[in-house]
Structure 1
Amino acid sequence: MSKRVSGRVVGGARVVGVRGVAALVLGASLLLGGCAEGAEILEGGSSASQNSEATVEPSTETIPDQPEPPAAPEQTEQSDQPTQPAEQETPAVPERSLHQQNMLDLLETLAVKGRAPKTGYSRSQFGQRWKDIDRNGCDQRNDVLARDLTNVEAPKGCKVLSGDLDDPYTGRLIHFVRGQKTSQAVQIDHVVALADAWQKGAQQLTPERREQFANDPLNLLAVDGPSNMQKGAGDAATWLPANKSFRCTYVSIQVRVKAEYQLWVTQAEKEAIRRELGRC
């Protein structure tokens, strides 16, 4: 005689009470051992306690894969420090040329004083006019004309009869012709005027040194006659060439000459020279 075993189903598995299992085992023993018929096997569901342990039969039901939750975005670490503004590049300062720097350095070596009285000044204090100090057989006036003019005509060697001057003071082209009424169109200028030099240290020079100063090719230029007359004995603080492109060269010559002969400058003159050197 066969018996039906009842039980609960949990999560797809049949759960049989412990007492039900014992009854099954006992029943099987009685049958095998020839025990009396009619022994009853208790149904697990009628007498099993709610707190009894249960045997879980494995389920063959497949649990579908659950999609993985999306990864949380990485949190950027926030700094407690305030955001610093980006550094701005300082505009580059244009470099000075070597000439500029040399002249500015030389300018700083000149003494700065007030203008001395003109007492005792005369052209004769500067020796022989247009002396041939380089001893080439030609006076300084003709040497400078031959140096500064183009298309020079000097058939007899020294004396320049004609030529063309690209005038540094005005920027104009001047045709020079020697003659009583025409020679003054082109004059020889002392870049550092003799009277200016006298009032700024030349009084203390020896007569020989003053003569050399007056005939030094470094201090002489062939220029437009009217511009030379306009300049007079002016320094850089009171007069500069109308041709602005020549001013750097002009004040550079003045600095070199004054340094060579140990002449001084006034404060206004120094400032004017420095300003023009800054524009070179």
Structure 2
Amino acid sequence: MRKLSFLVSTLLVATTVVVGAAPDAGAEPDDTVSVTVEKAIENLPVAAEESSGYSAGKFRHWTDPDQDGCDTRAEVLITEATTPPDVDGWCTITGGAWHSYYDKKDHSGTGALGVDHLVPLAEAWRSGASGWTAEERERFANDMGDPRVLAAVTAAEKRRKGDKDPARWEPSDDSADCRYIAEWAAVKGRWKLAVDPGELAALQNMVAECPTEEITYELAL
């Protein structure tokens, strides 16, 4: 279920299209796209943000779609553990170890961890999710079909990030920048979310260090 493989959209460059349906998305065939990070960013739609009407409650999250007793947050922690934790019948997680790539910190146990929406819920709303159905927002908020949408990271770093986009926040570990913007472009491309002009400028500035890296993603809408 988690991290690695990178993706995004579309036409104007040599893209490799692989036939396949998007996981948990009900997508049509031919919805898998591979392209360089630089082109992925260029292909994202640009639009002014609109934040009116937002509340986190409009994205029903930490659900348990497979009804195994573990909600999405717990599933992310279990999946991303570098040392598997113990999980009891009530989905209580003990032990285990994790690596937070935002700040390059290792954690024993879950006490200092948070599960972050890479593209925050408020940012998704401002970028197009305000026009989605409640069911689409729920799928986004619990998207385990792409390992970049949700990340187990240091809780303090998650709080510092808040609902900021790359124009206002980047990982405290500079070596994580290429991964972060590649994942940002992949998630926005997967969910057909727009970027605002300031966000686009920041992404284009950051991608200068990693323009030829390829990413791949499956459309969720």
TM-score for the superposition, normalised by structure 2? 0.72
The residue that corresponds to 1:108 in the other structure is 42
Shift of 1:136: 6.5
Q: 164, 170, 184: which is aligned to 1:240?
A: 170
CA shift for structure 1 position 146: 1.2
Q: How far does residue 276 in structure 1 lie from its aligned partner after superposition?
A: 2.2
Q: Which has the higher strand share?
A: 2
1:164 is matched by which residue type in structure 2? A
Q: Kindly indicate whether the alpha-carbon contact (under 8 Å) linking 2:149 and 2:187 is maintained by their aligned counterparts in 1.
A: yes
Match of 1:229 in 2: 159
Say yes or no: does 1:132 pair with 2:69.
no
The corresponding residue for 1:63 is none
Q: In 1, Cα distance between the equivalents of 2:85 and 2:192?
A: 38
Whole-angstrom CA distance in 2 between matches of 1:165 and 1:155: 15
Asked if structure 1 preserves the Cα contact closer than 8 Å seen for 2:101 and 2:176, the reply is yes
Q: Deviations over 1:77-117 (max 9, x none)?
A: xxxxxxxxxxxxxxxxxxxxx9x95222222221112221x
The yes-or-no answer on 1:198 pairing with 2:130 is: no
CA–CA separation in structure 2 for the residues paired with 1:146 and 1:277: 31
1:151 to 83, 90, 114: 83
Structure 2 residue identity aligned to 1:222? A
* C-alpha contact (below 8 Å) 2:86/2:96 kept by paired residues: no
Superposed displacement of residue 171, structure 1: 0.8
Mapping for residues 258-277 of structure 1, pairs under 5 Å = 258-277=188-207
Identity of aligned residues (%): 32
Equivalent residue for 1:46?
none
Bigger Cα Rg: 1
Distance 1:161 1:213 in 2: 27
1:120 pairs with 2:53:
yes
Matches within 5 A, 1:27-176: 102-116=36-50, 118-127=51-60, 129-133=61-65, 135=66, 137=68, 138-156=70-88, 158-176=91-109
Structure 1 gap segments, 5+ residues each: 1-97, 178-182
- RMSD, matched Cα: 2.0
Q: What is the SS of the residue equivalent to 1:187?
A: strand
Letter in 2 for 1:230: R
Aligned residues: 173
1:130–1:140 contact (8 Å) kept in structure 2: yes
Q: 3-state SS of the aligned residue for 1:240?
A: coil
Compute the TM-score of the two structures, normalised by the length of structure 1. 0.58
TM-fit CA distance, 1:166? 1.7
Q: List structure 1 segments (4+ residues) > 6 angstroms apart after TM superposition.
A: none
Deviation at 1:131, TM superposition (A): 1.5
* Distance of 2:140 and 2:132 partners within structure 1: 10
Query: Could you tell me whether the CA contact under 8 Å between 1:152 and 1:160 is conserved in 2?
Result: no
Letter in 1 for 2:135: E
- Letter of the 2:142 partner, please give it: N
Deviation per residue, 1:214-268 (Å, 9 max, x gap): 1113310000111100111000100000111111111111111111221110112
